[in-house]
Structure 1
Amino acid sequence: MRTRRSEGMENKKVLISLRNLKKYFPIKRISFVGKPLILRANDGISLDIYEGETIGIVGESGCGKSTLGRVLLQLYPQTAGTTMYYGRRIDELAPKYVADTLKYLPRYIKKCRKAEQVFHQLDEECRAKGDEAPFSLIEKRNNAKSDWETKLSDVVKIAGGFIVSDNLREVSKALLKQYSVDAELFKCQQSILDMQVRLTTAEEKNDAKTVARLQQQIAQLEEKANALRSEREVLQGKLAPMKDQCRQHPDFEKYESQKDEGIDLSRLTNKEVRFLRQDLQLIFQDPYSSLNPRMTVGQIIGEGLIAHGTYKQGTKSLQDYVLKVMGDCDLAPYMLHRYPHQFSGGQRQRIGIARALAMQPKFIVCDEAVSALDVSIQSQIINLLQELKEQQNLTYMFISHDLSVVKYI
């Protein structure tokens, strides 16, 4: 499997960063006590994907291209490594793994030190045996190093230079207070968005009483959000003296520079991953089986919008938005109430693209999106994807086994 990326991306912002990503599938067990045989679909992949670029993943069938795309989107849980997403800041989402890390900060640091000791012990064994070191020992050493780096990274990205503090419990307590404010602010902002959707629906129905009530509730929630932002600034000010004390440690700057505002997708709960689905979308390879035959085009495109609460079902604003997305993908308005079997392969793939774009994503995995289409239709779909990328500043991972297609896009 090889990668090809757009040129001139050095000064762009990193959107997704993979470090030592692994995905193993168990095949079978030889015995009840022995370890199961595994298939290493992805093994130690490190990669940066920049905002606004198209990165091509090319390779022969069965090499793990599609698995990489699905693991990146957390459709498959990854075996090891980190997948950092920078489309949103960690304090915007306030994921639960942050609270868990901060609550048990001393315990996590103890695990890091233990993993470091295991690695150094195995490393010394390998050095002692030199060229005669068996492959199994070298692999064990490399896995131990990866485990140590991942455990350390999980803590440092959240706590930064605070991990060198002599009073980790006090640090943990202070950072947890800040996290609780972030979590409450996230809930408040989600409530405001939900109220705004309901307000739009009420305005369409000319329900003046409901409109007035919702406007009042939104104003109250916005006041609460502003108060929480002010409280967060106060808490940050209280953390400053603690950070100044830690600066005296020689390793403080090293760890502080590794603090990360990105979101580790591999550590999110199912509910948190579902929330980010609107940012991370997938265009499937097969335009036939990927569409529900019992749903119309309008229902297919609008399904995700309704599920995420962006629009209410049956509203005029939803239909207007779906028609706009269809127009962007060269689908005529009269196709709104048609079913998938009434379309050609190229038209069905346009529906799949419209479904992904409707969520206004930041990153799309195109999993061999044109391999099932005729050559003439392939060029139309590729040109459409290029146009949409330029209009909406999209980032693509384009998976294919056709070198000419990857080179073109």
Structure 2
Amino acid sequence: MQTNEKKVLLRIQDVKQYFPIKKTHFREKQKYVKANDGITLDIYEGETFGLVGESGCGKSTFGRTILQLYPQTHGEILYQKDGEWVDLKAQDRESMRSLRKELQIVFQDPYSSLNPRMTVGQIIGEGLLSHGMFKRGDGAMKDYIFQIMEDCGLSTYMFGRYPHQFSGGQRQRIGIARSLALRPRFVVCDEAVSALDVSIQSQILNLLRDLKEKDNLTYLFITHDLSVVKYVSDRIGVMYLGNLVEVSETGELFENTMHPYTEALLSAIPTTDVNDRKKERILLEGDIPSPVNPPRGCKFHTRCRYCQEVCTQQEPEWTNVGKGHYVACHFPLGRKEK
């Protein structure tokens, strides 16, 4: 997926993340929840890569695995630092700790991700002290935190107050300020706006875009809302049951959808456009299969209206259909002659 014009910041190769299930009896064969089941992806420096899919498909697990909050079961996650590739899994605790300054996360829930016993200044300053950017008691640190707060749309009077005194939108801004205070290169935004009101969502999305342009940040933006991801993303990946099924630049994905699952997701986007409302609404029948025992062949075949015999037996290959557009489907939409 690499091109000469873009620098790859993170290279993910065949990453699997399996979680063991507790056995019910001694001789039972060990089973695993296959949260991520062989993901290969390049994330380019300076881009926002949107990751979408139903709840439980492995999006958040993937983001946390990249940051080594969950060490991967299999595969490689390579981070390009100073022109060299760093294998994140191979790093010891201290080496990974120093890299976390450059690899940050904004958590989904602004209510539980902040320590209620710490003030806003302490929350934002904790990482600065931990990574040695300032020494405790340094007056310059307070000025720096004030600047970060202003950049994130927070008033400086909030410095000595506690999280419970703020709204959800303000708390999420505090979480963003905590992550960006370390001047990271890569940030995982894990459902960063899903817990917020629609009016507040737009403010946070605009803030993230402004900060990205200012500091040349790279985002992995995880969400289940395609209308949101369309607004913020340069490229979009669609995940189903632990696998990527389609990856494309944002405009290309919406104009030339190739995977039946993506087609169904796009059909569910609410719209006020009369012409769009005339389009067919595609309903996915049945529940998402178990990640412990996924279907043979294409994992989506149990819910796909285009399913044929080969789909039930053979896993589809990851195929480039042009313009950096990749799809895993035996019968991509628009190419039924295959």
Partner of 1:401: 224
Q: Which residue of 1 aligns with 2:38?
A: 44
Cross-structure match for 2:75: 81
| Native 8 Å contact 1:87 1:362 kept in 2 | no
Which structure is larger by alpha-carbon Rg, 1 or 2? 1
- Over the aligned positions, Cα root-mean-square deviation in angstroms equals 1.6
Q: For residue 211 of structure 2, what is the amino acid of its counterpart?
A: L
Q: Give the aligned partner of residue 22 of structure 2.
A: 28
Corresponding position: 1:346 with 2:169: yes
Secondary structure of the residue aligned to 1:401 is coil
* Counterpart for residue 135 of structure 2: 312
Q: Is the 8 A contact 1:21 1:45 kept in 2?
A: yes
Amino acid at match of 1:376: S
| Structure-to-structure mapping, 1:35-74, within 5 angstroms | 35-74=29-68
Q: Give the counterpart of 2:199 among 376, 380, 395.
A: 376
| Residues 229-273 of structure 1, C-alpha deviations (whole Å, 9 max, x = no match) | xxxxxxxxxxxxxxxxxxxxxxxxxxxxxxxx3000011111111
Contact 1:24 1:79 in 2 (8 A): yes
Deviation at 1:289, TM superposition (A): 0.5
Alpha-carbon offset, residue 32 of structure 1: 3.0
2:90 alignment partner in structure 1: 267
Separation in structure 2 between the aligned mates of residue 35 and residue 355 of structure 1, nearest angstrom: 44
Within 2, Cα distance between the matches of 1:55 and 1:275?
24
Q: Residues 238-387 of structure 1 correspond to what in structure 2 (within 5 A)?
A: 261-387=84-210
Matches within 5 A, 1:184-263: 261-263=84-86
- Aligned structure 1 segments of 4 or more residues deviating by more than 4 angstroms: none
**C-alpha separation between the residues in 2 aligned to 1:67 and 1:374?**
25
**Identity over the aligned pairs, expressed in percent?**
64
Secondary structure of the residue aligned to 1:47 is: strand
Q: Find the residue that maps to 2:174 and give its secondary structure.
A: helix
Q: Using structure 1 for the length normalisation, give the TM-score.
A: 0.55
Relative to its length, the structure with more helix (as a share) is: 1
Aligned counterparts, 1:113-132, within 5 A: none
State whether residues 30 and 37 of structure 1, in contact with CA within 8 Å, keep that contact through their aligned partners in structure 2: no
Return the structure number with greater strand share: 2
- SS of the aligned residue for 2:51 comes to strand
Q: CA deviation at 1:48?
A: 0.1
> Does the Cα contact within 8 Å between 1:9 and 1:53 map onto a contact in 2?
no
Separation in 1, partners of 2:133, 2:187: 19
How does the TM-score come out when normalised to structure 2?
0.67
Using a 3 Å threshold, how does the CA distance of structure 1 residues 9 and 52 change in structure 2: closer, same or farther? farther
Counterpart of 2:166, as a letter, is: F
In structure 2, how many angstroms separate the alpha carbons of the residues matched to 1:296 and 1:339? 5
| 1:388 counterpart (188, 211, 236) | 211
**Matched positions, count:** 232
In structure 2, how many angstroms separate the alpha carbons of the residues matched to 1:399 and 1:10? 26
- Following superposition, the deviation at residue 384 of structure 1 comes to 0.2
CA contact (8 A) 1:88 1:263 kept: no
- SS of match in other structure, 1:86: strand
